[in-house]
A = this chain, B = another copy of it.
Amino acid sequence: MDMGLKMGFTYRIIKLGGSLITNKNIPYSYNEEIVRRIAREIRQFYPLIVIHGGGSFGHYEASKGDKIKTVIAMQELNLKIMKIFYNEGIKAFPLPGRFFSIDTVKRYLQEGLVPVIYGDITESGKIISGDDIAILLGKKFNSRVFFATDVDGVFINGRVAKEVNSPFIDDLSSSSFDVTGGMKAKIQKILENCVEALIFNGKIEGNIYKALEGKNIGTLVRCKNDNK
């Protein structure tokens, strides 16, 4: 935590990508071993805010357009994560994305808890993006946002860029088959909000710990005039 504070982080905000914690190709497949390892890498950092995506649970159901199945799928995925986190000694408290507010997050933190927020869907079928929540938190708490994904970072000309400052990169691509433009959208949102974010591969053991410790693995995304 010392290092974090020296670097100007008050809170560590980490988004666990849906493709990291689930196998996107198999509906309702959950990477329990990866979640357990993640829990062990993050539990020594505090204060901490965790956001997770939907992957082959919520993302899968949302793509089929059933809001009820989507909300249930996300509740199930979050429950699985909550149980692992609890067993690994993290004082996690769940926060469905549709009930997210900065005030609720602050209340959780004041109680010494780790908010575990998740991408969600509302009763009217509006998708609540975990990325959006992570970026909003980064802005409100003036903290770096850590995006643990299943790719090494942002690829430019076939190589992982150390830093990205502009969304206007023609040959921006990720190594995964990203039909939704997820990575591009992520970078655009980060830059639009002038938040500092690290996008890195959470599948590699130790990477999450390194990132939270302050090491610039993967790709650092930030606005050009941002001197954080």
Contact = CB atoms under 8 A, between A and B. Distances in A.
B83 A68 contact: no
Q: A interface, by DSSP: helix, strand, loop or mixed?
A: helix
A111 B123 contact: yes
Interface string A82-105: 110010000111101001000000
> How many A residues touch the partner, as a band?
20 to 34
Given A123-B93, A123-B111, A124-B111, A72 B68 contact: no
A113 B98 CA distance: 16
Nearest to A78: B75
Interface in A104-129: 107-108, 111, 113, 123-124
B68 A75 contact: no
Interface of A: 67-69, 71-72, 75-76, 78-79, 82-83, 86, 91-94, 96, 99, 107-108, 111, 113, 123-124
